[in-house]
Amino acid sequence: MMGPAHSLSGAAAWLGVGAAAAALDRPMPWPVLLVGALICAGAALAPDLDHKSATISRAFGPVSRTLCEIVDKLSYAVYKATRSSHDPRRSGGHRTLTHTWLWAVLIGGGAAAAAVTGGRWAVLAILFVHLVLAVEGLLWRAARMSSDVLVWLLGATSAWLLADVLDQPGNGANWLFTGPGQEYLWLGLPIVLGALVHDIGDALTVSGCPILWPLPIGRKRWYPLGPPKGMRFRAGSWVELKVLTPVFMILGGIGGAAALNLI
């Protein structure tokens, strides 16, 4: 899928988690619902850091371009080192290492650890990166027309404001993880979820997605998971724009309303 559909599916997925949390008597305070949905929308772009024309690789100027080159090389190296004789030869790392459950868990776990140990600046950095991505993904038309610097400023100011809101007692810094020193541990959850939702979205497209690596399926270690061929669509096709996008919006709306106990 393309960036906007990935982001929208990420936001909808977190709103769905909010609905489930409300049903399980662990309701999210509204700032957790909002910030989680935005982080998940941003994190749902992250796996494409292995592709130089992806939204995330362009979002932070030379920093993300350099990171993209490193991630692509690393992914390609891991692919070559771990592929079985039944996995096809490839010429680059796109849709390999960063498109797996293991990567999702590592990135989310790393972010959670940083948020818990790094204090306010770590939380701000996590919020900033994901809010910029959320703007690029959800408001892509507006983001394309404005300069990168404006989007970064918007990300930075909203990160600052939202961190202040979350810090207020009862607003959810310690949602789900209530022990001492566990504030903001939950920030890892929308990051893991966003990456997984991205992988599932890619699995629905023609080339599939090796989500389960390094678990072998059949004789392949990089088995491209996906539905039967007839149910797949091309990235950026009308199915994505005219069917999936409205479906994500509706599901997100229902999830959000249920999470806030409005329905």
Nearer of residues 20 and 102 to Zn ion, judged by Cβ: 102
Contacts of 145 (CB under 8 A, 6+ apart): none
Considering the rule CB under 5 A, would residue 87 count as an interface residue with Zn ion? no
Q: Give me the least distance between CB of 160 and Zn ion, in Å please.
A: 30
Residue 48 binds Zn ion, judged by CB under 5 A: yes
Q: What are phi and psi of 233, to 5 degrees?
A: -130, 165
In the complex, least distance from residue 98 CB atom to Zn ion, rounded to whole angstroms: 8
Does residue 202 belong to the site contacting Zn ion (CB under 5 A)?
Answer: yes
Cβ-based nearer residue to Zn ion, 48 or 183 = 48
Around Cβ 211, how many Cβ atoms within 10 Å? 23
User: Nearest approach, Cβ of 31 to Zn ion (angstroms)?
Assistant: 29
Verify binding: residue 50, Zn ion, rule CB under 5 A: no
Structure token pair of residue 231: 């149910």
Closer CB to Zn ion, 42 or 47, in the complex: 47
CA distance 186 to 172: 9
Identify which of residues 136 and 202 has a Cβ nearer to Zn ion in the complex.
202
Burial letters 90-118, b for 16+ CB under 10 A, else e: eeebbbbbbbbbebbeebbeebbebbbee
Smallest distance, Zn ion to C-beta of residue 77, A? 19
What residues have CB less than 8 Å from 165, skipping those under 6 apart?
A: 31, 171
Q: Which CB, 47 or 194, lies closer to Zn ion?
A: 47
Binding positions for Zn ion, rule: CB under 5 A: 47-48, 202
